[in-house]
Structure 1
Amino acid sequence: MDGFDLWHHGDQEVGEGLVDLAVNVRANTPPSWLLEQIAASLTDLAAYPRQDAALTAVAQRHQVAPDRVLLTAGAAEAFVLIARAFRPRHAVVVHPQFTEPEAALRSAGHLVDRVVLRPEDGFGLDPRQIPSDADLVVIGNPTNPTSVLHPADTLRELARPDRILVVDEAFMDAVPGEPESLVGAAIPGLVVVRSLTKTWGLAGLRVGYVVAAPGVIEQLAAVQPHWPVSTPALAAAIACSNEQAVTEAAQAAVDIERQRAHLLDNLTAVRTYGVPRGPFVLVQVEGGAVLREALRGKGYAVRRGDTFPGLGPDWLRIAVRPEDVTDGFVKVWRDTAVDL
């Protein structure tokens, strides 16, 4: 629609021999202890998956009751379930953001309006921008690809008794302390979507979850297939919810904050808008599309921005990586930018 490829994702930018700065999965993951937990579950593959232990673990992680949690095959399935379970008269998606929610809504036959945030406003949201009659609103926090973290109080203002408010918090655990998270908040119609993909390097396993009121969880579960989450994915959900994992994720968020600052301090000839808080940065650079292809030719993949509504070919999303990877990338970036 409108020339934006809503189905394009960062993994399509990656190719053999390329250093990956296009996909927002934390480097050097999954850790060995997590792989061991997943591998140990393989002896149970003859039995149908049982979710009880994983539901309890995730619920304890967020200090909510288990009936407020729905496990899903990644955050992507959560968006499909939302599109199936509800019949909004006026769905609104706040852009630029992850395009999967809008794609899922459109595939289910819903009409979707867009509220497009402006770079000159730092990609910040004024709640008055959301139409008052919108009965389903989707927003990311922190938002992919802008990396902007919206204040929780701003998002609370979007809640209405007759509105489903979907907040995609797939990257929230990459923010130290998760200060603006709404997971578990007593807000009417709130649906928080989480993913284990990004922090733990589990894109190939497909595991995520939804936290919402029990009645909303029941509506989503009613349109979900039986046994949607595999036994290895359930093992991962348990392992990533324990105290050790929460502590490791918290340290990783601190590391990402330092690594992001290092990246931004060393990039040249770029413009940024807002305050990036996620494990990626969005930059605007003249001739961005040409630069992206030139970087590919020199061994580095970054994410094109022109598939996100509200952005164009001069926008690039760059994943945060450890300093040694960033230093190699920045050198190539500078050399390439000079040549163009």
Structure 2
Amino acid sequence: MRGASAGLVDLAVNVRSGTPPEWLKARLAASLDTLAAYPDGTGARAAVAAHHGLPVERVLLTAGAAEAFVLIARALEVRRPVVVHPQFTEPEAALRDAGHQVGRVLLRESEGFRLDVDAVPEDADLVVIGNPTNPTSVLHPASDIARLARPGRVLVVDEAFMDAVPGEPEALVGRTDVPGLVVLRSLTKTWGLAGLRVGYVSAAPEVIGLLERAQPLWPVSTPALVAAEGCVSPRAQEEAAEAALAIAADRDHLLAGLAELGSVRVVEGARAPFVLVRVPGDVRGRLRERGFAVRRGDTFPGLGEGWVRVAVRDRGTTDRFLAELGKVVAEG
């Protein structure tokens, strides 16, 4: 996968390589013949709801997870929002842009960036957490996250990378027994649709109603709706399950190679299609000189210089990356 800079192998972006698949491209191409009509999300919304065993009134389609964060920030009346970090920075940015004062809970490196439920303030009326978390790749137990639920609290769980976890053992998206639960999903990562913008929210009907009223008219395009319906089809789910297993195997290969580099520290228990690594010196800059782009980590609250996020790729790409990383580390 190539990044914006010509010649760089992109290990910074978390979109799965080799996507979108040909069958999905064909569906998207066919949808172009219907662009004269306004988008109708009825079928896609019903398909997503049925996929998770939910009534349709508990699902809202969005222009990617990013739109969902903005809707939550603008439509829900909260007094003390808290974001659990390190994690994706967009939820906090959306809350601040909407005028909220945002609290932070910083998980500790010494504890493997695992969730500490007791660290979340009791009076927080909106809590945001990623699972598996970007950039740490930590998969928190669903039971621990559910313990964050309180009467009068909105609990937002970003599950954008959950479909890359084989079997999705810690998923909360289909749960209706956790009060205040709002789950976000993205279809852009596994299916290579970052440019199309498509995702969805599951929540109680009254919350979905508030978010929907805050949306502009026709927020999700016809091609994106076609993609959403296609990506929850039985064929697509079988392919996604196979991809998750392949990602897990490729991640194990990457982790094994990183373990052989003595001065490189990896956050343990990675379950997402990326790993968080602590490296000595300006490794990121020198890797760019050698043709590899990795994601800087110091822009994530709770991390600092020396952290980089590395996307999981095929073994050939990973082996070339590990060889160059080994040389850079050896140079000091």
Write the letter of the residue equivalent to 2:81.
Answer: A
Question: Is contact 1:14-1:301 (8 Å) kept?
Answer: no
Partner Cα distance (1:65, 1:43) in 2? 30
Q: Which residue of 2 aligns with 1:189?
A: 180
Aligned-pair CA distance for 1:87: 2.1
Instruction: Give me the whole-angstrom Cα distance separating, in 1, the residues matched to 2:267 and 2:327.
Output: 24
Matched AA of 1:66 = V
- The counterpart of 2:212, out of the listed 200, 218, 221, is 221
- Report the residue type matching 2:131 in the other structure: N
Deviates more, 1:251-260 or 1:268-277: 268-277
**Aligned partner of residue 38 in structure 2, secondary structure:** coil
User: Equivalent residue for 1:86?
Assistant: 76
Please point out which of 298, 303, 307 is paired with 2:290. 298
2: CA distance, partners of 1:274 / 1:110 = 34
Q: CA–CA distance in 2 between the matches of 1:253 and 1:200?
A: 12
Cα pair 1:96 1:145 within 8 Å, conserved: yes
What are the equivalent positions in structure 2 for 1:199-278 lying under 5 Å apart?
199-267=190-258, 268=261, 269-278=263-272
Deviation at 1:14, TM superposition (A): 4.3
Could you say if the C-alpha distance between residues 79 and 167 of structure 1 is closer, same or farther in structure 2, counting changes exceeding 3 Å?
Answer: same
The residue type paired with residue 329 of structure 2 is A
**Correspondence for 1:4:** none
Q: Deviations for 1:196-215, whole angstroms, at most 9, x for unmatched residues?
A: 01100000000000011111
Q: Distance in 2 between matches of 1:163 and 1:55?
A: 26
Structure 1 residue 20 corresponds to structure 2 residue 10: yes
Q: Does the residue aligned with 1:286 lie in a helix, a strand or coil?
A: coil
Structure 2 runs not aligned, ≥5 long: none
Which of 23, 27, 31 is the equivalent residue of 1:37? Answer: 27
Say whether the 8 Å CA contact 1:73–1:207 is kept in structure 2: yes
Contact 2:280–2:329 (8 Å) recurs in 1: no
Which whole-Å CA distance do the structure 2 matches of 1:86 and 1:213 have between them? 13
- Paired AA for residue 131 in structure 1: P
Instruction: Check conservation: 1:123, 1:274, Cα contact below 8 A.
Output: no
Aligned match of 1:149 in 134, 139, 144? 139
- C-alpha offsets along residues 44-95 of structure 1, whole Å, 9 cap, x if unaligned? 0000000001001111111111111100000000000000111211100000
1:92 is paired with a residue whose SS is strand
Q: Which deviates more from structure 2 when the two are superposed, residues 224-233 or residues 183-192?
A: 183-192
Farther-moved stretch of structure 1 (261-270 vs 69-78): 261-270
Match of 1:104 among 89, 94, 110: 94
Q: Is contact 2:60-2:212 (8 Å) kept?
A: yes
SS in 2 for 1:103: helix
SS of residue paired to 2:214: coil
Structure 2 CA distance, aligned partners of 1:305 and 1:320? 16
Shift of 1:221: 0.4
Indicate if the aligned counterparts of 1:303 and 1:318 stay in contact, CA closer than 8 A: yes
User: Aligned match of 1:119 in 84, 90, 109?
Assistant: 109
Code of the aligned partner of 1:72? T
Contact 1:22–1:302 under 8 Å retained in 2: yes
Conservation of the 8 A alpha-carbon contact between 1:96 and 1:144: yes
CA distance in 2 between partners of 1:127 and 1:338 (Å): 40
**Do residues 314 (structure 1) and 306 (structure 2) align?**
yes
Query: Is 1:286 aligned to residue 280 of structure 2?
Result: yes
1:70 aligned partner: 60
- TM-score for the superposition, normalised by structure 1: 0.95
Cα offset, 1:285, TM superposition: 1.1
Q: Distance in 2 between matches of 1:140 and 1:263?
A: 23
Give yes or no for contact 2:112–2:268 (8 Å, CA) kept in 1: yes
Is residue 2:89 matched to residue 1:95? Answer: no
- Aligned residue in 1 for 2:165: 175
The separation in 2 between residues aligned to 1:36 and 1:119, in whole angstroms, is: 45
Structure 1 letter corresponding to 2:22: S
Q: TM-score, normalised by structure 2?
A: 0.97
Distance in 1 between residues matched to 2:50 and 2:30, nearest whole Å:
22
| Number of residues of Structure 1 aligned to a counterpart in Structure 2 | 327
Deviation at 1:294, TM superposition (A): 0.6
The 3-state SS of whatever aligns with 2:57 is: helix
Runs of 4 or more, structure 1, over 4 Å off, are none
Give the superposition deviation at 1:299: 0.6
Per-residue Cα deviation, 1:90-148 (whole angstroms, up to 9, x for no partner):
10000000000000000000000000000110101121111000000000000000000
